[in-house]
Structure 1
Amino acid sequence: MSTPTTAAPATITDDRVADALAPAPFGDSVRYLGTLPSRPRARWVVAFAVIFTITLIAMMFSANLFGYAAGIVSGESVPVLDSGTRGFALLLAAIAVTQLVEAAGRAFGMWLIVSKTRQMSVDLRRGALSAVLRAPISDVLTLGTGNVITRLTKDIDQTVRIIGGIGVRLVVTILMFPFTMVSLALIDWRYLIIFAILATLTVPILRSTLIAMREYSNIVSSAEARRNNLLLDTIRGIPTLRAMRLDRWALGRMQKGSWNAVQANADRAPVITRLIGQATFGYGLLLIATFVVSAMLYDAGELSLGAAAAAAVLVSRMEVHIFNVLMFAGEIQKAATGLGRAVALATLADGTADLPEPDDLDSAPEIRIDGLDFAYPDGANVLEGVSLTLAAGTTTALVGASGAGKSTLAAVIAGLQRPSGGRIRIGDVDTAEVADVWTARNVTLISQEVHLFAGTLREDLHMAAPDAGDDVLKAALAETGLVEGGLQWGRWLPLGLDTRVGAGADELGPEVVQQISLARIILQDPPALIMDEATAEAGSDHARALEQAAIRAASGRTSLVVAHRLDQAIAADRVVLMAEGAILEDGTHDELVAKGGRYAQLYARWAAN
């Protein structure tokens, strides 16, 4: 397979631009972390400040003592320590003590940072997942499953890993600048002039590079999220890909997504190299200037040899910390971007609570659709001026060729997509004027892609009816055709309600998964139900039984069925034929057959098979 052509770093391809939800700015991320239950409290902050202050003081003393060693060797007297052999021995002892204090401070500081980071990561993940559950479903679908999973897992885990690995070094490096300047000022205030000049020259340059790195880091995360979306989409669609012989197409699409993620990482590398180069140049100037000023002051007799050497050692010791952090500059930016992406997800539902949540419906409602339009971003209209009224307590079958807009209409009514025009009323409620969660509670959508939660069958069914007893659960399963003691029950549910289902359990037959999902609907008892080809996965041996189960699940509710087989349309109270995003025919099965139009032709071809 040939290697795809890639863009130069300056021209990011459309497949690798930032996604629909930009990372939260760093300041906003910090403010959000301050709202978490595990946020640092006053006692933690005091302990943090005390530990790192002691550590930095020990480091500064250590650097000064190394410098004053040169003075003792040359015969100078050091305050407190004196001179000569005794002074040198005391100096070595003092250096050993400061090194031990520094090591202990770093270890305890790391424990403080890592433990608190892990605690906060749990709260952040919980907040992000809570936001996903509360946010408008259309916003979540726009992000994509892979993107959401990346933010909930990799972005948070990556931030925790990076902070745990280099958090202490980063804190020490940041604090070293003020502590070093104070130490140098105590030796001679003129050293501060060097810092002032270099800061004026280098800070704007470094700042622009850091901004560029943040942008590239978001592009990397977005490209990796798109790759994950493609991977999940491919795994879910394996049966379809095999049936339509689209293996090569799927592999090509996956290769393109993976290559874009690799290229995005490669595009960021020059920015990291530029940052290290700029820092190297700035630090080189600082070191040279310090040596020159120290030499001039010593030559003028304004500094002792020990003091001049101490100033040089103080600046020299900054090198390892600065370049430790710079070597991890990419990782630090990854952590900042990952945190921003997770916080953006955690605040996804902000503002949705402003919409009211009326009382749930207590009976099957009339659903009225007026002038409904829908178009995907930068695409043509999928629905145009659709108007339709679903009578309360009736079942309407939606039929038409693939691409007619049936599934899109179902998704818009269920609140999975926002219409670009028109309105939908469920009973007396305009869905545009209520919280998205109200629509989700009162209009249940079931498709052929059904999820069973990991656990026992009893636990899965309790998702729909937490207080239901075993007899009620078994009765709901029986209504779908899963009768205790029956052939399917014995084959697929050997432990009955204690049979494990979902992730990690033995795979169930597709018809059994659909039957369980229909049982959940019966238990949940929603006022309105939409079934989007919910029986399409059943083989011919089970199709009739599953369709009967779907009919029973729809009974007594206002139901819309996207029909996969026309016998579903025959059983419905009403049939609506769609083509190219519009309604062409509307009536009962018998009325449309008698009319002799497109539905009659479709039915004649189906009945002949």
Structure 2
Amino acid sequence: MRREYERTDAVAPASVRETFAYLSALPNALDKRWWAGLLIIQALIVAVYTTQSNLFGRSVDPLTGGSVPLLGTGTRAFVMTIGLALACMLVEMFLRALGNYVVGLKVARASIDLRRRCLDAILRAPVPRVMELGTGNVITRMTKDIDDVVQTITSIGSRVLTTAFVFPITAIGLLLIDVRFALILILLMAAAYPFARDVVRSIPAASNAVSVAEARRNTVLLDTVRGLPTLRAFGLERWALARMRRTSWGAVEADMDRAPWFIRLMGIGQVIFAAWVLLTLGLGVWLASGGAITPGQASAAVFLVIRAEVMVFNALFFIGEMQSAATSIGRAVALAKLADGRDGAALPPDLAAPVDVVVDHVTFAYPGGANVLDGLTVTLAAGTTTALVGTSGAGKSTLAALIAGLVEPTGGRILVGDVDTGTVSDRWTAKNVTLMTQDVHIFAGTLREDLAMAAPGAGDAALLAALETVGLGQTTPQFHRAFPHGLDTRVGAGAEELPPEVAQQVALARVALAGPKVLVLDEATAEAGSDATNALEQAAAEITRGTTALVVAHRLDQAAAADRILVMDAGRIIEDGTHAELLAAGGRYAQLFTAWSGAGY
């Protein structure tokens, strides 16, 4: 059975080279001065570490008739040797703490830069790419992936460098005692390399599978929270719990599939270290008994190896952890680079007046599916309102999404004026083509702050006038009930929830303040109750006046009021004309309108 998490990620992690180059360009990048300071700290740690190991090992010599260089022989030399070794231990502890602090502080600052870049990329990236990636995936990359890297580097970053220094220094220390000790280490590392290499190469894919599964789990969680009213209304709580259980178990399975690779690394480490200790001990005894080295030198060699135990396991454990961290940071960097490409090109000037919108031989199909639109061509005349009518699945919302830039055509092009939206940044399209659907969002803050987002320089009079335009004037009962403190009323998250029709009116007021030249309304008044229907439809009519507007109509009286009506079926335009013309033609629209009006709407 194919596990749920086993699917290709929409955006692959950046390569190690791309990641390093990107991070090096951040404001809080790991610059040369920082690296120089950190390397000095690590060099001091290794020097103190090596001196301490040698001192502990050589402390045997004064008690067996030998001597320690500079310290002499006897009990006094023994005490001084142990004292210096303990002093080295304290210095090493201080330097390690300093190294961890330096690494942790820098990485935390760099992570803030990276999160900011990720959010900026989401705001500027092509909307289809963001939608393909998915909300859960975006959140995982911006939060857990970056947090994992910060935690990994903060906890082991300094120790990774120490380990990298210790191995060659240990080899040199063993070499100075006797070249045969160093040869043991070199031979064992050469023997372990092919086994460790194969394991390490498998870790990035396994780590990415974990992140993909966690992203899927986050997506399902967000979807469940957003759909709470629907789930409760239809009694789907058990279904939601079962779906959450499946995706959560998928994340667990992915993590379980990655764990054996780390276990194999630890197994390799155990075998190599056991062989290293036994061979060093045996060689030391043999050399000391033959008089080639002193007992203290043999003890020093064994002590260097025993103290390196943590370094052996650190090295193998760190390889796995750093590989996982590299995959996680690569995922975050790939997100931060999502806006690269078209976004860097010079933007055309903003629209100064309504323009024609040309859908030129546009084809669109969802991944793995048949064409929803196939060679569709239509022109929306500047300054007119065109209503789009058709049964569910006809392709109305797809056409609206294509014009608004939410999805990209698989063939053909869309021209807004003389601008091909497929060749410019989504920033231009989003600024000049305004889309409003029935899914409106009220931002947390005051009503004034929410409205001013659409027109930052607008005063209170302009904000109130926009509300008046959409039927929420200060004298209306709805305004007093919903906004008891006027423009200072708190709205959005943390405030009392607005009725659906009032939230839609506020969203329409934002559109009125923005003053778009091209406007797409995709059933933007569909959620209105009967009492608010007329007010919302009048508000929609007001904000479309003087724009090039496409209205996906869920009520045919909206279509009747439009300058032009397009009837869609199976991705094609089957009728095109005014309300009167289409009624006179007696075709599909006439049938729909007769059935609709006869139903008592």
Q: Does residue 1:429 correspond to 2:419, yes or no?
A: yes
User: Is the Cα contact below 8 Å between 2:181 and 2:283 reproduced in 1?
Assistant: yes
Q: Does residue 1:289 correspond to 2:279, yes or no?
A: yes
Q: Does residue 1:187 correspond to 2:187, yes or no?
A: no
Q: CA deviation at 1:521?
A: 1.0
Q: CA deviation at 1:551?
A: 1.2
Which residue in 1 is equivalent to 2:538? 548
User: Is the Cα contact below 8 Å between 2:435 and 2:519 reproduced in 1?
Assistant: yes
Q: CA deviation at 1:120?
A: 0.3
Q: How far, CA to CA, are the matches of 1:492 and 1:458 in structure 2?
A: 14
Which residue in 1 is equivalent to 2:218? 228
User: Is the Cα contact below 8 Å between 1:113 and 1:168 reproduced in 2?
Assistant: yes
> How do 1:490-509 and structure 2 match up within 5 A?
490-509=480-499
User: Is the Cα contact below 8 Å between 1:397 and 1:569 reproduced in 2?
Assistant: yes
Q: CA deviation at 1:224?
A: 0.8
Q: Does residue 1:146 correspond to 2:136, yes or no?
A: yes
User: Is the Cα contact below 8 Å between 1:209 and 1:274 reproduced in 2?
Assistant: yes
> How do 1:205-354 and structure 2 match up within 5 A?
205-242=195-232, 247-324=237-314, 326=316, 331-354=321-344
Which residue in 2 is equivalent to 1:176? 166
User: Is the Cα contact below 8 Å between 2:525 and 2:536 reproduced in 1?
Assistant: yes
Deviates more, 1:111-120 or 1:316-325: 316-325
Q: How far, CA to CA, are the matches of 1:76 and 1:536 in structure 2?
A: 95
Q: How far, CA to CA, are the matches of 2:316 and 2:489 in structure 1?
A: 54
Deviates more, 1:513-522 or 1:110-119: 513-522
Q: What is the letter of the counterpart of residue 546 of structure 2?
A: G
User: Is the Cα contact below 8 Å between 1:355 and 1:433 reproduced in 2?
Assistant: no
Q: How far, CA to CA, are the matches of 2:198 and 2:118 in structure 1?
A: 31
Q: How far, CA to CA, are the matches of 1:320 and 1:265 in structure 2?
A: 25
- The C-alpha deviation readout for 1:175-207, integer Å capped at 9, x for no partner, is 221221222222223333223222222122212
Q: How far, CA to CA, are the matches of 1:298 and 1:531 in structure 2?
A: 89
Q: Does residue 1:118 correspond to 2:108, yes or no?
A: yes
Q: How far, CA to CA, are the matches of 1:488 and 1:525 in structure 2?
A: 24
What SS does structure 2 have at the residue aligned with 1:190? helix
Q: How far, CA to CA, are the matches of 1:290 and 1:351 in structure 2?
A: 57
Which residue in 2 is equivalent to 1:572? 562
Aligned mate of 1:27, from 17, 22, 38: 17
User: Is the Cα contact below 8 Å between 1:480 and 1:549 reproduced in 2?
Assistant: yes
Q: CA deviation at 1:343?
A: 0.8
- The C-alpha deviation readout for 1:9-57, integer Å capped at 9, x for no partner, is xxx6364223111111233222211111111334322321222211111
Hey, which bits of structure 1, 4+ residues long, moved more than 6 A? none
Q: How far, CA to CA, are the matches of 1:340 and 1:419 in structure 2?
A: 29
User: Is the Cα contact below 8 Å between 1:366 and 1:426 reproduced in 2?
Assistant: yes
Q: CA deviation at 1:379?
A: 1.3
Q: How far, CA to CA, are the matches of 2:30 and 2:231 in structure 1?
A: 50
- The C-alpha deviation readout for 1:214-250, integer Å capped at 9, x for no partner, is 1111001001111211222233334444556655544
Structure 1: gaps (5+ residues): 1-6
**C-alpha root-mean-square deviation of aligned residues, in Å?**
2.0
Q: How far, CA to CA, are the matches of 1:46 and 1:433 in structure 2?
A: 45
Q: CA deviation at 1:537?
A: 2.0
Q: CA deviation at 1:326?
A: 4.8
What SS does structure 2 have at the residue aligned with 1:466? coil
Structure 2 vs 1, CA of residues 407 and 556 (structure 1 numbering), >3 Å: closer, same or farther?
same
Q: How far, CA to CA, are the matches of 1:384 and 1:246 in structure 2?
A: 37
Q: How far, CA to CA, are the matches of 2:241 and 2:376 in structure 1?
A: 38
What SS does structure 2 have at the residue aligned with 1:16? coil
Q: How far, CA to CA, are the matches of 1:538 and 1:83 in structure 2?
A: 96
Deviates more, 1:101-110 or 1:280-289: 280-289
Q: Does residue 1:416 correspond to 2:406, yes or no?
A: yes
Q: What is the letter of the counterpart of residue 204 of structure 2?
A: R
Which residue in 1 is equivalent to 2:596? 606
User: Is the Cα contact below 8 Å between 2:342 and 2:423 reproduced in 1?
Assistant: no
Q: What is the letter of the counterpart of residue 192 of structure 2?
A: T
What SS does structure 1 have at the residue aligned with 2:590? helix
User: Is the Cα contact below 8 Å between 1:16 and 1:220 reproduced in 2?
Assistant: no
Aligned mate of 1:586, from 558, 576, 583: 576
Q: CA deviation at 1:163?
A: 2.1
Which residue in 2 is equivalent to 1:596? 586
Q: How far, CA to CA, are the matches of 2:169 and 2:499 in structure 1?
A: 67
Normalising to structure 1: TM-score of the pair? 0.94
User: Is the Cα contact below 8 Å between 1:66 and 1:95 reproduced in 2?
Assistant: yes
Structure 2: gaps (5+ residues): none
Q: How far, CA to CA, are the matches of 1:287 and 1:485 in structure 2?
A: 87
Which residue in 1 is equivalent to 2:478? 488
What SS does structure 1 have at the residue aligned with 2:308? helix
User: Is the Cα contact below 8 Å between 1:414 and 1:530 reproduced in 2?
Assistant: yes
Identity %: 52
Which residue in 1 is equivalent to 2:436? 446
Deviates more, 1:430-439 or 1:133-142: 430-439
What SS does structure 2 have at the residue aligned with 1:104? helix
